[in-house]
């Protein structure tokens, strides 16, 4: 999987996602966040647009150390040729985040020389 480094230095890759196997038509650029130990965080705007079903809540510790309770939704993504079902966390932010949970067992390379991201 090939991505890019944006003008702000963020490592981005594009994923296909949806609420059903035959509806993986939403392509989203996600920010690779190696400080996030889950799979995927999506802004509420994306979740509402794709109509992801709500499945519960989860406690989370934010970067500032505060604890919050966040809504969790069911999502399907295409990940290295396979359809994966994930519980994704909703947030009030504007940036989708791809966490370490999806990187386990993969190699991540970010080149600030060529401004590329590679996950294999």
pLDDT digits (tens, 9 = 90+) for 64-98: 888 989 899 999 999 999 999 999 999 888 899 99
Task: Tell me the pairing of strands 11-18 and 40-43.
Answer: unpaired
For residue 61, what pLDDT is reported?
81
Share of the chain above pLDDT 90, in %: 76
CATH of the domain at 110: 2.40.70.10
Residue of 13, 5, 49 lying closest to 29 (CA atoms): 13
**Overall number of domains in the chain:** 1
Range of the domain at 112: 2-119
pLDDT at 52 > cutoff 90: yes
Would the pTM of this model clear 0.85, i.e. be above it? Answer: yes
| Averaged pLDDT for residues 22-35 | 88
| The two structure tokens encoding residue 29 | 């650029």
């Amino acid at each position: 999987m090939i991505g890019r480094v944006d003008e702000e230095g963020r490592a981005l890759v594009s994923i296909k996602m949806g609420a059903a196997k035959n509806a993986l038509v939403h392509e989203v650029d996600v920010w690779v966040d190696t400080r996030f130990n889950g799979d995927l965080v999506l802004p509420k705007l994306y979740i509402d647009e794709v109509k992801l079903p709500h499945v519960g809540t989860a406690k989370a510790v934010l970067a500032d150390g505060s604890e919050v309770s966040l809504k969790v939704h069911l999502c399907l993504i295409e990940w290295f040729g396979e359809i994966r079902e994930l519980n994704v966390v909703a947030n009030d932010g504007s940036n989708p985040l791809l966490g370490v949970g999806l990187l386990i067992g993969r190699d991540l390379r970010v080149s600030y020389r060529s401004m590329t991201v590679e996950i294999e």
